[in-house]
Structure 1
C-alpha cells in the first residue's frame, strides 16, 4: 500500500492534465471490501461520484491488476469523467436516453455501454494530448476472447496505431474490424460533441450481446472491472432540463425516421434516473419532469394593480390665521419676512397640495384549481398528461407573482386529493397535480361549500380543467342545491371563474351552456394538447391586456 502516498502526491499533476484551473476534492482511497461497499464501489477498481465530485479508488483491486505504477493514467481518467465526459448529471442522462433508444431489450446494459463510450473519448484524449500509457493499463487488466471485448480493444488499437493483438486476443474478424473503424471515426469526429455519436455507438454494440438463437449474452467480468460511472448519480436529485432530447445518427438514420427531437415521457425520465443510480421516489421524479416541461411556458398570473395613496407636495406659504393651530407656523419663513413677529400679520404657514403617488401596489389573485382525474384522463406518471402540464404552467405562474394556490385532484364521490389550503409550496402543489385516481366522476362540491362560506381576504380565481364530467357539479345528489353552492363560491371568490373543457359537441351540452350563462368563462377544446394554448390565452386575457390598459390610462 506504499503507492497510496505517491498517488496522493500526483493528484495535482493529474488535475493539470485537463487544466491549470480544475479544482476537485482529492481522491478517496478505500482499503477494504467493507469500505468499498459503504461507498458504493463494486466490481471496478475506480469510480466517480457526481454528488460530491469525488473519485473513489479500490486499493485491493489496483494491487490485484498491478496498476500501482499508473497514477496519472487512472487519476487522469477519473478526473476526465468529471470535467470532460460526461461532466455533469444532465449530460449523463442524455447519453443514457440515447443509448436506450438503440438498445431495445437491453435496458440493463444501457449504463455499461454509455460508460464504455465515455471511456473511449477520455482515454484517447489522454493518449494523444498527454502521451500517457493508456494501452498498458488495459494490458494489465488482460485479454479476453469475448467478441465485444475484442471489438472494444481493436478500437483502441486503431485509434493509437498499435499493432494487431497488442490488446486483442487472436485475429479479429472482418465485422469487428469494420465496427472498430466506424467507432474510431466517431471518436475523432465528435471530440467535443459526443452526444452526436451515442446512438450510433450503441447501435453498433447491440448485436454483440446476442447469440445466434437470439438469447442475450451476460456481460463479462473484464468489462465490469473498468466500469466507473454506473452509479454516478447515486444520492442526487433527478436531473433537470432533459424533457426533450435531440437524436442524431450518421449511420443508422433510417431507424430514427424523420423524428430528430424526442419528447420524453414520464416513464422514459424514470428509466433514465434508475439507470444512473438515482434512488428517488416516483413522486419526486414526476414532480421534476412536469416542472421542467412547464418552465418554458411560465407567464405572469392575473393580479390587481392599485395606485398608492396620494402624496403631499409643498406649494408655498400663506398668512397664518390666529385661529389655526400654533404648530402650523413656519417660524423660519416668518422671521425671514420680518424680524419682529406679529401673530396674524407677519406669521406664515406652509400650504400643501396633492400629487399622484408613483407607487403601485400589487394585489395578486389567488388560484383555486380543480383538475379532473377520472378514468377518462391520462395517468401523468406514465405518459405526458396535458391536464397536469397546464395545471403546472398556471400554478407556477401564479406563484411567481405572489399568489397562493390550492390544487384539488378529483375523481369519484369523496375521491379527491387537495393541498393543505392555499399555499406557496411548489413541490406540494405539483405532487398533488401529478397524482392519479382513474375512478368515476363526481365533482367535490363540499370543497366549494366549505371553502367559500366566508369572503376570503384576497380575491380568488376558480379554474376547472375537465371534460363532460364537469356536469356532475350540477347533476349529483347533494344535501343542498348544487347550483346555489356554485353560485355562492363564484360570487364570494370575486376573482372570476373559468372552465377549460374537452367537449366533442360544445353547443350540445345543456349543463355546460347553463354554467356559461351563470357567470363561468367556458373554454372548449377538441383535444388535451389545446390546454397549452389555453394557458397562454388565459394569461393574455386576464393579465397582460389589463396591465397595458392600466399603463395607458395612467
Structure 2
C-alpha cells in the first residue's frame, strides 16, 4: 500500500497538468471489494463521480495491473474527465444521445463508446502537452486480438507516431487501419468541440459490435470505463431539449446537420445510461421545464395605484387630549425654551399626495388539462398539451401568480395540485402525469372551489378536444350549466378553452359555452398550442396592462 502515499503526494502536480487554478477534492482510495461495491467501482480500476467531483481509485486493481508507477498518468486522466471532457453532466448527456442515434439497437453499449471517445481526447492531450507515458499504461493492461481493441490501440499508435505493433496484436485488417486513421484525424480536428465528432466515431464503432451482436468481453476494455456511472446520485441534467448532431463521414438527412429535438423517452434513456436513478416523474418534470423555458411569456396581473403618501405641511398647537407621541419636541423647544403643554407645544400637520408606486396583483391560474385516451402520454412522447400547460403555468409563476393544475380523464379520475400553489416542481409533476382513460370533466372541482369569490382574481383555462362536451352531458346530480356559469362569474378573471375540434362549427356545447362568456380557441393540431400559449397572454393581458 506504500504507493498510495506517493499518489497522494502527487495530487497537486496532477491538477497542475490541466491548470494552476484547478481545485478538486483529493482522490479517494478504496482498499477493499466492499468499499468498491459501495462506491460502484466494479470492473474499472478508476472512476469519476460528477456529483461531488471526486476521483475514485481501486488500490487492489491498480496493483493487479501493476500500475503503481503511473500516478500522474492515471490521476491526470481522471482529473481530465472533470475539467476537460466531458466536464459536466450536460455535455456527457449530449454525447450519450448522439451516440444513441448512431448506434440503433445497441444503445446499451453507448456509455462505453462515449467513455472510450472521451479517453482519446484526454490521453492525447496528456501525451502531447505533458509528455506523460500514456502508451505504457496500455502496455501494462496487455495486448489482445479483439478487433475493436486493436482499432482503438491503432488509433493511439497513429496519434503518437508509434510503430505498428507497439500496442496492437497480429495483422490488422484494412478496415481497422482505415478506421483508426479517420479517428486519429478526428481527435486532432475537434480537441475543443468533441460533440462534432461523436456521431462519426460511434458510427465507426458500430460494425465492430453489430456484426456479431455481442458485447466485447475484453477485461482490458472494461477496466478503462471510468465514466459509466458519472451521474450517480445527481438530478437529471437541464439544457437538453435540443441537441445538434454533426457528421462529416455519415450525413443522414433529417438526423445530422441540424438540431434534433429529444423526446421524453430519449431523455429518460440518457439519464439511465449515465447512472441517474430518478423516477419518471422527476425526469419528465425536468424535460418539460427545459422545453418550456424558451417560450415563457408575461402572465396577467392587475395593476393598481399604491396607497396615498403623507406630506408634511407644517405645525399646529398640540392640546391636552391629543396623543402625547404626536408632540414635535424640537419645534416646541424652538418656539419656547419653557415647555407649557397646551400653550407652547406643537404637533406636525400632514396632507396627502398621490403615490407613484404601482401595486401589482397577479391573477391566479386554474388550469384543467384533458388526459384521456385520445391524448398523448407526456412521459413517452412530446405532448404539446403538457408543453403548453407548462409554458403558461411557469409564466404565471414568474409574476407571482399561484397555480392549480388538474389532469382529468374519466369519471372521478383526476389528479390535482394541493390547491393554488407556487411550487413549480409540484405543478409540473401533476401536469406531466397520465391517465389515458375515458372522458368526463371534473365538475366537482369547479363546484367546490367557486362557492364564493376568491381573494384574488383567477383565470380558468381548459385544454381539451371534443370531450369538452362532457362538461354538460355527464350525469351529474346538480345542473352542470349553473355550476360552470357560477365558476366563471366567481373567478372574475375570465375563462378560456383551447380545443381541438373535429367539426368546430357543429358542436352545440362549444357554441353554448362561447355564448355564456368563455373564450374559445379552436386549433387544428396539438402543435398549434405553442402559438396559442403566446397569443393567449398577448391578446388578453400584455396589450391591456391595467385590469379591473
Give the TM-score, by structure 1 length.
Answer: 0.93
> Per-residue deviation at 1:345?
12
**Equivalent residue number for residue 82 of structure 1:** 82
Q: For 2:168 and 2:342, how far apart are their aligned partners in 1?
A: 113
Distance 1:126 1:475, change over 3 A: same
Give the secondary-structure state (helix, strand or coil) at the position aligned to 2:543: helix
Q: Distance in 1 between matches of 2:350 and 2:107?
A: 79
Q: CA deviation at 1:334?
A: 8.7
Identify the residue that residue 210 of structure 1 maps to in structure 2. Answer: 210
Q: CA deviation at 1:255?
A: 5.7
Partner of 2:449: 451
What SS class does the counterpart of residue 47 from structure 2 fall into? strand
For 2:381 and 2:217, locate their aligned partners in 1 and report how far apart those are by CA, in whole Å.
Answer: 32
Gaps in structure 1 of 5+ consecutive residues: none
Task: Name the counterpart of 1:154.
Answer: 154
Cα deviations across residues 428-484 of structure 1 (Å, max 9, x unaligned)?
111111111111111011111111112212111111001111111111111111000
Aligned to 2:181: 181
Aligned counterpart in structure 1 of residue 504 of structure 2, from 506, 514, 524: 506
Q: How many angstroms apart in 1 are the aligned matches of 2:355 and 2:173?
A: 84
TM-score, reference length from structure 2 = 0.94
Out of 226, 229, 232, the residue aligned to residue 231 of structure 1 is 229
Residue 515 of structure 1 is matched in structure 2 by: 513
**Compared CA separation, residues 222 and 306, structure 1 to 2 (3 A):** same
Q: Judging changes above 3 Å, is the alpha-carbon distance between structure 1 residues 323 and 255 closer, same or farther for their aligned structure 2 residues?
A: closer
Gap change, CA 1:457 and 1:222, over 3 Å in 2: same
Tell me if the contact between 2:43 and 2:223 (Cα under 8 Å) persists in the aligned partners: yes
CA deviations over 1:315-371 (Å, ceiling 9, x no partner): 4578x7999979899897799899999999999986644311122222111111100
Q: Please give the secondary structure, in 2, of the residue aligned with 1:443.
A: coil
Please give the per-residue CA displacement for 1:217-264, whole angstroms capped at 9, x wherever unaligned: 444222101111111111111111111000100111136556611000
Matches for 1:414-453 after TM superposition, within 5 Å: 414-453=412-451
Which deviates the most, 504-513 or 464-473? Answer: 504-513
In the alignment, what sits opposite 1:391? 389
- SS at structure 1 position matched to 2:460: strand
Partner of residue 358 from structure 1, selected from 356, 359, 363: 356
Which secondary structure state, in structure 2, belongs to the residue aligned with residue 79 of structure 1?
Answer: helix
On the 8 A contact 2:466/2:499 being kept in 1, the answer is: yes
Q: Does 1:408 align with 2:406?
A: yes
Alignment of 1:75-474 (within 5 A): 75-211=75-211, 215-254=213-252, 260-315=258-313, 352-474=350-472
Shift of 1:201: 0.2
Structure 2 CA distance for partners of 1:492 and 1:156, relative to 1, 3 Å: same
Maintained 8 Å contact 2:245/2:255: no
Take 1:325 and 1:37, find their aligned partners in 2: how far apart are those partners? 80
Q: 1:233 to 1:502 in 2, by over 3 A?
A: same
| Contact 2:247-2:257 at 8 Å conserved across structures | no
Secondary structure of 1:381's match? coil
SS state at 1:466 partner: strand
**Matched position secondary structure for 1:169:** coil
Matched, 1:69 2:69: yes
Describe the superposition over 1:144-181 as per-residue Cα deviations: whole angstroms up to 9, x where unpaired: 10000000000000000000100000121211111001
SS in 2 for 1:236: coil
Deviation by residue 1:239-291 (Cα, 9 ceiling, x = unmatched)? 11111000100111136556611000000000000100111101111011011
The question of whether the paired residues in 1 share the 8 Å contact of 2:297 and 2:537 is answered with yes
Distance in 2 (CA, whole Å) between partners of 1:107 and 1:330 is 81
For 1:76, what is the secondary structure of its paired residue?
helix
3-state secondary structure, aligned to 1:94: helix
Name the residue aligned to 1:32: 32
Distance 1:168 1:364, change over 3 A: same
Cα contact 2:247–2:256 (8 A) shared by 1: no
In 1, are the aligned partners of 2:152 and 2:180 still within 8 Å (CA)? Answer: yes
Shift of 1:394: 1.1
Name stretches of at least 5 consecutive residues in structure 2 with no aligned partner. Answer: none
Measured after TM superposition, the shift of residue 216 of structure 1 is 3.4
The 1-side partners of 2:31 and 2:348 are apart by: 85
Q: Which residue of 2 aligns with 1:50?
A: 50
Shift, 1:299, TM fit: 2.3
The equivalent position to 2:532 in structure 1, one of 530, 534, 541, is 534
Deviation, 1:75, is 0.4
CA distance in 2, matches of 1:17, 1:160: 19
The alpha-carbon distance between structure 1 residues 209 and 261, as it changes in their structure 2 partners (threshold 3 A), is same
8 Å contact kept, 2:246–2:256:
no
1:308: how far off?
A: 1.4
3-state secondary structure, aligned to 1:253? coil
Instruction: Name which of structure 1's ranges 108-117 and 301-310 shifts more when overlaid on structure 2.
Output: 301-310
- Which stretch has the larger CA shift, 328-337 or 53-62? 328-337
Deviation at 1:374, TM superposition (A): 0.7
2:305/2:358 contact within 8 Å kept: yes
SS at match of 1:254: coil
Distance 1:479 1:326 in 2: 61
Q: Secondary structure at the match of 1:546?
A: coil
* Compared CA separation, residues 205 and 256, structure 1 to 2 (3 A): farther
RMSD value over aligned CA atoms?
Answer: 2.5
Instruction: Decide whether aligned partners of structure 1 residues 230 and 255 sit closer, same or farther in structure 2, where only a CA change above 3 A counts.
Output: farther
1:355-399 deviations in whole A, cap 9, x for unaligned?
111222221111111000011100000000011111111111111
The secondary structure found in structure 2 opposite 1:408 is: strand
Pair 1:322–1:528, CA change in 2 (3 A): same
Q: What CA deviation, in whole Å up to 9, does each residue of 1:32-57 have, x standing for no partner?
A: 11111111001111111111111111
